[in-house]
Amino acid sequence: MNSSVTSIKLVLLGEAAVGKSSIVLRFVSNDFSENKEPTIGAAFLTQRVNIGEQTVKFEIWDTAGQERFASLAPMYYRNAQAALVVYDITKPQSFIKARHWVKELHEQASKGIVIALVGNKLDMIENGGERKVAKEEAEKLAEEEGLLFFETSAKSGENVNEVFLGIGEKIPIKKPGEQANEQSGLRITDDQRVDLTNSVNGPVRSAGCNC
């Protein structure tokens, strides 16, 4: 039996078309689609994984295209415990952009955030494509900045689960009781926080006012 579930907010960053959503789709539903349209209508995706005794629930936030014109809101980084910074190993420009996102995360995100640098599209090299970002170069960046580092293929699934397991292992697990009560479905962590969707207490059409 798992004693508790820890929720982890994970944000995705990286240039358009490097495969951010594909990595998540592979992780969440073990699926891949060749010409994936940008995701429409999903607030965020969730996936649970077991790490030892612990169940970790990833809440994965997609940029929804707001990174394109430097229009990501501070809300996006708010309370993120993990980030995937994704680049395409066949596109040097996307690696330059990845450096930028790592810097941005250090400035904007919470101090303890766990960042994984992910070079995607390994399958293209295995099929005769040319690698344009050396593994050593990425490893060097990861070491300097204290990042986890993986090379993946969302298409074949290679190394994708390892990224999330790696992150899950690195995030300090809270003891039961420190976490919001998950079973009730209410986002209440102290007496004054409220869940707007909770209709147990109301709305009441009466002079419920006690004045």
Partner 1 sequence: MDPESMDTEYDVIVLGTGITECILSGLLSVDGKKVLHIDKQDHYGGESASVTLSQLYDKFKQNPISKEEREAKFGRDRDWNVDLIPKFLMANGELTNILVHTDVTRYVEFKQVSGSYVFKQGKIYKVPATEMEAISSSLMGVFEKRRMKKFLEWIGSYEEDDISTHQGLDLDRNTMDEVYTKFGLGNSTKEFIGHAMALWTNDDYLHQPARPSVERVLLYCQSFSRYGKSPYLYPLYGLGELPQGFARLSAIYGGTYMLDTPIEKVDYNEQGKFQGVQTKLGHFRAPLVIADPTYFPEKCKSTGQRVIRAICILDHPVASTNNADSLQIIIPQSQVDRKNDIYIAIVSDSHHVCAKGHYLAIISTIIETDKPHKELEPAFQLLNPIEERFMGIAELFEPKEDGSKDNVYLSRSYDSSSHFESMTDDVKDVYFRVTGHPLVLKTRQDGDN
- Identity of the residue, 5 or 44, whose beta carbon is nearer to partner 1 in the bound complex: 44
Q: Which of 135, 134, 97, 141 is nearest to 116 (CA)?
A: 141
CA distance 158 to 147: 20
Query: In angstroms, what is the minimal distance from the CB of 158 to partner 1?
Result: 25
Q: Name residue, tokens 């996006």.
A: 76
Does residue 203 have a cis bond before it (omega within 30 degrees)? yes
CA distances from 101 to 115, 124, 167, 176 (A): 10, 24, 18, 33
Query: In angstroms, what is the minimal distance from the CB of 205 to partner 1?
Result: 7
Residues of this chain that interact with partner 1 (CB under 8 A) are 16-17, 38-46, 62, 64-66, 68-71, 73-76, 78, 187, 192-197, 201-211
- Identity of the residue, 96 or 134, whose beta carbon is nearer to partner 1 in the bound complex: 96
DSSP letter at 46 equals E
